[in-house]
Structures are given as C-alpha cells and as structure tokens.
Amino acid sequence: MHSAIQKMNSLKLNKGVKYVQNNHIATRSVEPDDAKYEDQWAPVKIKLPDAWAYTTGGTTQDGDEIVIAVIDQGLRAQASLT
C-alpha cells in the first residue's frame, strides 16, 4: 500500500497529469441569498449545505482554480475494455 505522499509523487511524474495537490479542508464563505431558499426542498434533499462545508467553488487561497478529480481504484480489468 502506498502512502498518499508516495502516490502524489508518482502522479506528478505522469505527463498526463498537470497538477497534484493534497486535500485541504475548506469552509463555506457564503450563505444563500435567495429569499425563497428556505422554501426549497431540493438543496436539503441532496445535502447541498453539507457540500458547501467543503467548498463553494472558485479559487484556492493561492488563486488557483478549483478542479476536483476523484481517483477510484475500485475497478477490475475487463477483457472487453482492454
């Protein structure tokens, strides 16, 4: 099993990867300004306020655009796809 740092260093060597950054905790910096927000059922249903606890998008503190990519290793090789 590779540590997160080892995996990040490995990804940095991949020419197809532009940038690798460790996860950082962010907090919401804005509140909804929609007067009817409390009347809407969908934001609560999809747990939107929980997502805002991570980020509201935009840029990092360093001015970099926020782009999210998830690497999921829960796949098995399939002969028809290789």
The rounded percent of the chain whose pLDDT value lies above 90 is 1
Tokens 């290789």, residue? 82
Gap between the terminal Cα atoms of the chain: 24
Domain ranges in the chain are 24-82
For residue 1, the model assigns a pLDDT of: 45
User: For the whole prediction, is pTM greater than 0.75?
Assistant: no
Q: In sequence order, which residues have a C-beta less than 8 Å from that of residue 29 and are 6 or more positions away?
A: 56
For residue 28, the model assigns a pLDDT of: 55
The rounded percent of the chain whose pLDDT value lies above 70 is 65
- 29-65 per-position pLDDT tens digit: 566 677 888 888 888 888 877 877 776 667 877 888 7
Across the chain, how many H-helices and E-strands are there?
3, 0
For residue 5, the model assigns a pLDDT of: 80
